[in-house]
Amino acid sequence: MEAGNCSICNLRIDLAQDTDGVCLLCRRQMVLMPTTETAARLFAPSVEALEARNKAALGDAKDFGFYGHIGGEAGLASTSQATGVKHDLGKPRIELISAIWVEGVADVLTFGAKKYASHNWRKGLEISRCLGAAFRHMFAVLRGEDLDKETGLHHLLHASCELMFAYELLVTRPELDDRWKPQSTTKPEAK
């Protein structure tokens, strides 16, 4: 029988009881901390444990005695006594993005803000122009050129900026989508 402890008041909870994630003692939304048996089963190097972890990551974490996020795996709960509980299940894993890349893109945006204006691109650019600029920067890299002559920054950072512009404008300003799209591909019926 699976059990865990409330991370707030430490009440031991039998998960066979339907608590809807509310502690029976403190009546707060809780993240159950795994029992030793649960933790051993989840982190043991066995096929069964890996399958159980995958099942938990896909949203059936209640069966394992805790909810949320643990050890960097989506679908499980943070149970570290030193860091406390963090309810971030289902949220994007922003910490996985490269800080080097983000700072480099910010350098390109800073240059652009000085040259044009802050947020100038948000006023609207045709999607094809953003994509064309991204391709030009990527082709420069393919030709062996790393740094943009005007900014001294890497072409891939410029390409990243242009792709960011294109994607956000596709989402927020669909009227700027001027990409070529094929007409109907159905053939007329033979007579």
**pLDDT tens digits, one per residue of 89-119:** 888 889 999 999 999 999 999 999 999 999 9
pLDDT at residue number 4: 65
Pairing label, strands 69-70, 32-34: unpaired
CA atoms within 13 A on the CB side of 76: 20
Does position 1 have pLDDT exceeding 60, yes or no? no
Mean pLDDT of 158-164: 98
Mean pLDDT of 138-151: 97
> Within 10 A of 109 (CB to CB), how many other CB atoms are there?
18
**Euclidean distance between CA atoms 36 and 43, whole angstroms:** 11
Mean pLDDT of 124-140: 97
User: What is the rounded average pLDDT for all residues in the chain?
Assistant: 75
Pairing label, strands 3-6, 32-34: antiparallel
Does position 157 have pLDDT exceeding 90, yes or no? yes
Q: Where are the alpha helices (DSSP H) in 44-189?
A: 47-55, 99-115, 127-142, 155-172
Tell the residue number behind the tokens 């030709």, with chain if given: 143
> Within 10 A of 165 (CB to CB), how many other CB atoms are there?
21
- Enter the tokens of residue 17: 């009881």
Q: Which of 86-90, 122-126, 138-142 has the lowest average pLDDT? A: 86-90
Q: Which residue has the higher pLDDT, 103 or 190?
A: 103
Q: Which of 2-6, 32-36, 114-118 has the lowest average pLDDT? A: 32-36
Q: Could you give the 3-state DSSP secondary structure of residue 152? A: coil
Mean pLDDT of 16-37: 57
Does position 56 have pLDDT exceeding 70, yes or no? no
Mean pLDDT of 77-94: 70
- Enter the tokens of residue 11: 């009440």
